[in-house]
Amino acid sequence: MPSSIRTITRVIAKPDCGAVVKSLLQSLVFPSREEPGCLGYELWQGLHGSEFVTIGDWQDEVALVAHLRSAHVYEFSTEVVEYLAYPPDVQWYGQVEA
């Protein structure tokens, strides 16, 4: 298994909830970047405003699991759920050497 892990999480806001979801996602960026084992954490927004993607790069699975158990992720998860059209789609990836 690869040592570093990339996560791609896609969330879609309910109609008229894009600004709230964006703000809640923005609250994750800096605390996540400060976590031990975080190699990078980015937030992207779809061109039509209601779709968002976070891309996280983690040193290993231990760092990723610690992130998922962090207070700011828990707080985000409990607050954002009412504003989402669908549950978040979270994917984990390991780099393939060419």
Would you say the pTM of this structure is higher than 0.85?
A: yes
Amino acid (1-letter code) at residue 71: A
Give the chain's length: 98
Residue bearing tokens 């992720």: 73
**According to the model, what pLDDT value does residue 95 have?**
86
Mean of all residue pLDDT scores within the chain: 95
DSSP conformation class of 82: G
**According to the model, what pLDDT value does residue 96 have?**
87
d(C-alpha 18, C-alpha 24), whole Å: 10
Given the candidates 3.30.70.980, 3.30.70.100, 2.60.120.10, 3.40.50.1980, the CATH classification of the domain at 5-93 is 3.30.70.100
Report pLDDT digits (tens) over 33-52.
999 999 999 999 999 889 99
The pair of three-digit structure tokens given for residue 86, joined into one six-digit string:
């669908």
- Domain range annotation of the chain: 5-93
**According to the model, what pLDDT value does residue 48 have?**
85
pLDDT band, very low/low/confident/very high, at 67 (cuts 50, 70, 90) = very high
d(C-alpha 47, C-alpha 13), whole Å: 13
Q: Is 43 left (phi over 0), alpha (psi -120 to 50) or beta?
A: beta
